[in-house]
Amino acid sequence: MPDALILRPLTPEYRDDFLTVMGPSGACYGCWCTYFRLPPKTRAAMSGDQKRDLMLGKIAEGPPPGLLLYLDGEPQGWMQIGPRAEVPQWNNPRRSSTPLPDAPADDPAVWAITCFFLRPKARGRGLSQVMVEAGIDHARAQGARVLEASPMDQAKQSKSVGLFVGSTAVFERAGFATVARQKPNRPLMRFTL
């Protein structure tokens, strides 16, 4: 683990650091972390530049759409976290993350961690665990009452692109409990704040 590890909310003054983490192609296949923000047809019709600009607009208008991770002063990671209402596709009734009646998507105190992205040199070092733990503190400080995630139980490879949702084991270690299993291999997990 590096000596200097910092996590901070992605506010407008750190937008260039977000661009650095995402890289020129926008992270996972040019997603720019719009996967859970836009309907699939809308997202597919957009260029990478349009998706990037959408996220830059979210950063500019606030609240922060996630947390940035810095190692020794360099931006190396990103975790999307915020109210469920900000990620409408995550609330789709056909997903493993479908909201439960006691934590509706339109409740501003119901938050979710929906995805992660780490630059290649930061992977495989347990940093997603650090990010989840920082996310709990961040959500609590912002008045969330519950924080949910729908990670993956197992991936075919430890560095599978499908792990952008995180690993179940990481969330279990952080104290999340499974509250539903609406799809195989993808529990809905919750941390009560």
103 closest CA partner among 81, 83, 88, 79: 83
68 in Cβ contact with 17 (< 8 Å): yes
pTM higher than the cut 0.85: yes
| pLDDT tens per residue across span 137-174 | 999 999 999 999 999 987 555 555 556 788 899 999 99
Domains of the chain, start order? 5-192 (3.40.630.30)
Per-residue pLDDT, 1:
47
Residue with tokens 């609330």: 91
Bigger pLDDT: 26 or 65? Answer: 65
Single out the residue of 31, 14, 108 nearest to residue 69, CA to CA: 14
Question: What is the spatial distance between Cα 101 and Cα 34, in angstroms, rounded to a whole number?
Answer: 25
Q: Tokens for 44?
A: 């597919």
Average pLDDT over residues 32-38: 93
What's the pLDDT at 156?
A: 57
Model confidence band, residue 110 (pLDDT cutoffs 50, 70, 90): very high
